[in-house]
């Protein structure tokens, strides 16, 4: 299948030119009757009113609007428009789905217009990189050498490589998270590492590494030995608290641990901050939904098995999990063969769930308690054992790493 031209390239290629020419970027079914006379908005609307109208458009339409004429380009690229848009816009989170191979190919889904867009993320060099997102920024980390760590804005096509953490070593498990301050746009990145103690199967060294974009420094505020537990690859920062999943060395249950980022100390991590999970799970996915901790999990038939019988959603209230939804059986069957693990991420009010074995994408809106399939993703399955993965992110114009 021929790949689509990225709409981001329309934006940057045209904005870099001085010889402006009108380009409508209309879809074929939007051309309408060309014989009908049109009234130019330039003649009747002042800049401030035109800004407000354009600000209500979806992000792809704003990029196209910037290619209409020189005046519209100056409006959508002005500091005033970008600032006001960032304060008033209420875009729903997008989902980026990509193939699980050595050269990942992916598309981003916009649930507002129900379309997939071809967005290239060159930072993802292989499909097994750790990925986390917050407030328009996406963080990528190489799971093999741990030396490559990037923060980027997929919409603005801006990227920055961070300095390597000197205390970070190779580990058995790693969990990546990022939290962005919505006012200052400063961010904190956390890396939770877990490594088996040599000669002791039941003990794992656990360490937490934090990067502060304001100081551009790494710190390692916590190192501790876990007995009977090991870290996993799932973590999230929610309301100043770092949450991460752990798994028993006996292989029969999950648990949740938390760490207050403001404390920067290691007093009583396990004793005071352990929360059991509500069901036997095949896997768990953590996410920050309006500063509430949400977990999407595969419900196992019984403890110690990898046979999945359903998918549930829980919210953490204090130290208790409360179930808020369970996937209806018809949607569960819609994935076809569902393995014990799957991809799931969300933010704001929208949760995405995706099977690793097919490019099907299901969303769940918390406020409406509504399940909905997305439009079919253009990515194709080229061989029987090919896998797919993905993550969600907030589309934002004005935020840079």
What confidence tens digit (pLDDT) does each residue in 10-45 have?
444 444 333 333 333 334 344 444 444 555 656 677
Spatial distance between the Cα atoms of 154 and 246, rounded to a whole number of angstroms: 30
Q: Is the pTM of this model over 0.95?
A: no
Indicate if the pLDDT at residue 216 is higher than 90. yes
Give the residues across from 242 on adjacent strands. Answer: 237, 259
What does the block give as tokens for 193? 């590492």
What confidence tens digit (pLDDT) does each residue in 82-94 have?
777 776 666 789 9
Spatial distance between the Cα atoms of 170 and 146, rounded to a whole number of angstroms: 7
Count other C-beta atoms under 10 Å from residue 145's C-beta.
Answer: 9
pLDDT score of 24: 33
Count other C-beta atoms under 10 Å from residue 235's C-beta.
Answer: 23
Listed in sequence order, the residues at least 6 apart from 94 whose beta carbon sits closer than 8 Å to its beta carbon are 108, 109, 110, 111, 392, 393, 394, 395
Spatial distance between the Cα atoms of 249 and 255, rounded to a whole number of angstroms: 12
In this predicted structure, which of 12-21, 157-166, 211-220 has the lowest mean pLDDT?
Answer: 12-21
> Could you tell me the CA-to-CA distances from 391 to 94, 137, 171, 302, 328 in Å, in that order?
9, 12, 23, 28, 22
Q: Are 390 and 358 in contact, with CB atoms under 8 Å apart?
A: no
Spatial distance between the Cα atoms of 245 and 277, rounded to a whole number of angstroms: 9
């Amino acid at each position: 299948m021929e790949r689509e031209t990225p709409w981001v390239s329309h934006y940057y290629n045209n904005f870099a030119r001085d010889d402006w020419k009108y380009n409508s970027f209309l879809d074929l079914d939007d051309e309408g009757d060309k014989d009908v006379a049109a009234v130019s908005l330039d003649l009747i609307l002042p800049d401030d009113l035109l800004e407000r109208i354009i600000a209500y458009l979806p992000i792809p339409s704003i990029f196209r609007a910037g290619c209409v004429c020189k005046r519209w380009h100056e409006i959508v690229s002005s500091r005033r428009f970008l600032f006001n848009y960032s304060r008033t816009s209420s875009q729903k989170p997008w989902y980026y789905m990509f193939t699980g191979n050595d050269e990942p190919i992916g598309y981003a889904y916009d649930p507002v217009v129900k379309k997939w867009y071809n967005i290239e993320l060159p930072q993802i060099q292989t499909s097994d990189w750790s990925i986390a997102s917050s407030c328009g920024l996406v963080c990528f980390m190489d799971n093999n050498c741990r030396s490559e760590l990037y923060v980027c804005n997929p919409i603005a096509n801006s990227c920055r490589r961070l300095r390597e953490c000197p205390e970070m070593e190779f580990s058995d498990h790693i969990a990546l998270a990022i939290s962005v301050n919505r006012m200052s746009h400063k961010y904190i990145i956390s890396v939770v590492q877990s490594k088996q103690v040599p000669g002791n199967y039941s003990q794992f060294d656990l360490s937490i590494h934090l990067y502060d974009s304001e100081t551009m420094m790494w710190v390692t505020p916590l190192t501790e030995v876990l007995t009977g537990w090991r870290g996993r690859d799932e973590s999230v920062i929610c309301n100043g608290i770092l949450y991460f999943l752990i798994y028993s060395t006996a292989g029969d249950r999950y648990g949740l641990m938390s760490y207050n980022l403001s404390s920067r100390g290691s007093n009583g991590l396990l004793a005071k901050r352990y929360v059991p999970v509500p069901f036997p799970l095949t896997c768990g996915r953590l996410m920050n939904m309006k500063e509430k901790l949400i977990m999407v999990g595969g419900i196992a038939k019984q403890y110690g098995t990898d046979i999945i019988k359903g998918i549930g959603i829980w919210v953490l209230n204090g130290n208790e999990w409360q179930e808020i939804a369970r996937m209806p059986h018809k949607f569960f069957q819609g994935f076809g063969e569902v393995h014990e693990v799957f991809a799931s991420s969300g933010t704001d009010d929208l949760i995405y769930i995706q099977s690793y074995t097919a490019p099907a994408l299901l969303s769940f809106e918390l406020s409406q308690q509504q399940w909905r399939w997305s439009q079919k993703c253009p990515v194709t399955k080229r061989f029987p054992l090919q896998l797919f993965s993905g993550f969600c992110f907030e589309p934002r114009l004005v935020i840079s790493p």
